[in-house]
Amino acid sequence: MTPIRRHDQQCSRRYPVLVALAAGMVFGLVVPMFNISRSPAGQKLQAADASLQDKVEVLQQQKYDLEKQFKEAKSERDSARRQLADQVQQQKDTEARLAAEQTSIRSIKESAGDCLDRHTLWLPSATRDKINPTLAAFLKKVAINNEVLVAVSNANYARPGGMLELWMKSVKRAGVKNAMVVALDEDTKINVENFGLPAFRLDLAIPDSQKNSGSNHAVSALKFRILKPFLELGYSVLLSDVDIVTLDDPFKYLIRDSDVESLSDGWTEETAYGYNDVADDPSMGWARYAHSMRIFVFNSGLFYLRNTNASLDLLDKAIYRVESEEAWDQAVWNECIFFPNSPKNKDPGVTRRAMDIEKFMNSKYLFKFLRHNEVHFKEVQPSMVHVNYHPDKFERMKAVWEHYVEGKKTALNAFPDGSE
């Protein structure tokens, strides 16, 4: 038997000792940790760790939410930038289009042979038709000698049996072949066409400055904007309100020597055509008498407007004022026509004519003066009678019709000279 070496014997005795030492060290490490986790300090540490973990999760969620919000904000910003860029581009396109249209209109007028003379007519042409092709096509069917009789109406007057119907009835009876109605709504267009007259449909908003002026004045204020394209296309217009009875073709009695030819609100030759009015101020001694020129206003409900550059300037001035001021369209119309150039005014420089007051008659002249002159009353045969001085318009219109058309010579007798 081989004898065991002394060294081997020593090693065999060391192994158990080393194992015991290792076990003791492990036990020494584990037991304190176990005891720590069960101790108050250990529990606080675990709680702190859990709280920290919760905070980490909250922060991670907040980070996620912020990243999401950032992405959404970035997307909204990019979208807003694109919209702004689109709006800027649209504005540029609009400005370019308007500039091109103005250039086109100028070139159209130039190529159509506009004269430098502000009072010379131009003729319709294929080139001019491009300004407003729809209206141009309509006017070609209606106009005679490049002239039209135009009324402007909405549903307030267009009901069957109402003022517009009597206006149309009288126009047709008088043999006016070039009459039309600008209809501001579909019902009016239908009623006019059913009655047998041509109607041109227009959608126009009443200017804010005129919304409190009453429906009839608000509609009346639109007429200047409505008439402008007629003139641009090369047509002269006889504008008539619907409170007018037509007894004879008015185009036979126009003189056509002025830009504006209008019914007067005057009731004598002096008030209608003008007179020298003298003011007396005795305190001035030698210079006590001061002279002024007086004329009663042109009525904005019946006038003939020729297609000239001066007439267009007049319309532009009237359009600007009625759409920017809370003012009566007739007052604006006369100020634009009669007020001279001054430090406060730019005169459009139209030539003007007052219509014959016995051919184009206002209701004050008829009811207060003419009918009481029995001999002269029988001699005078008006072309158009405008019931402008009396509020009972429709009843007086019917009486005018009865007197002049049906021959009922007492038809006017029931009405007072003025209004009651």
How confident is the model over 104-151, as pLDDT tens digits? 555 555 554 555 589 999 999 999 999 999 999 999 999 999 999 999
Give the structural domain span for 299: 126-358
Predicted confidence at residue 117, as pLDDT, reads 85
- Tracing tokens 């675990």 back to the chain, one arrives at 46
Which of the pair, 129 or 326, is modelled with greater confidence? Answer: 129
Residue 171 lies in a domain: yes
Residue 253 lies in a domain: yes
In angstroms, the CA 401 to CA 396 distance is 9
In angstroms, the CA 294 to CA 316 distance is 26
Of 1-10, 67-76, 235-244, 270-279, minimum mean pLDDT range? 1-10
Residue 376 lies in a domain: no
Q: Mean pLDDT in the chain? A: 87
Predicted confidence at residue 101, as pLDDT, reads 56
Residue 40 lies in a domain: no
Q: Which distant-in-sequence residues (6+ apart) come within 8 Å of 53 by Cβ?
A: none
> Cα dihedral angle (26, 29, 34, 37), rounded to 10 degrees?
-150
C-beta of residue 362 within 8 angstroms of C-beta of residue 386: yes
| 1 pLDDT more than 50 | no
Count the Cβ atoms, other than its own, within 10 Å of residue 304: 26
Radius of gyration of the chain (CA): 46
By three-state DSSP, how is residue 274 classified?
coil
Which of the pair, 13 or 410, is modelled with greater confidence? Answer: 410
Predicted confidence at residue 295, as pLDDT, reads 96
Residue 177 lies in a domain: yes
By three-state DSSP, how is residue 172 classified?
helix
Predicted confidence at residue 347, as pLDDT, reads 94
- Tracing tokens 């030819």 back to the chain, one arrives at 261
In angstroms, the CA 384 to CA 406 distance is 16
Which of the pair, 212 or 151, is modelled with greater confidence? Answer: 151
Average pLDDT over residues 366-374: 97
In angstroms, the CA 358 to CA 57 distance is 98
Predicted confidence at residue 106, as pLDDT, reads 56
Beta bridge partners of 240: 302
The number of distinct structural domains making up the chain is 1
Residue 238 lies in a domain: yes
Beta bridge partners of 279: 290
Predicted confidence at residue 20, as pLDDT, reads 61
CATH number for the domain that contains residue 246: 3.90.550
Residue 250 lies in a domain: yes
pLDDT band at 37 (very low <50, low <70, confident <90, very high): low
Of 15-24, 168-177, 386-395, minimum mean pLDDT range? 15-24
| 316 pLDDT more than 60 | yes
Residue 370 lies in a domain: no
Average pLDDT over residues 296-324: 95
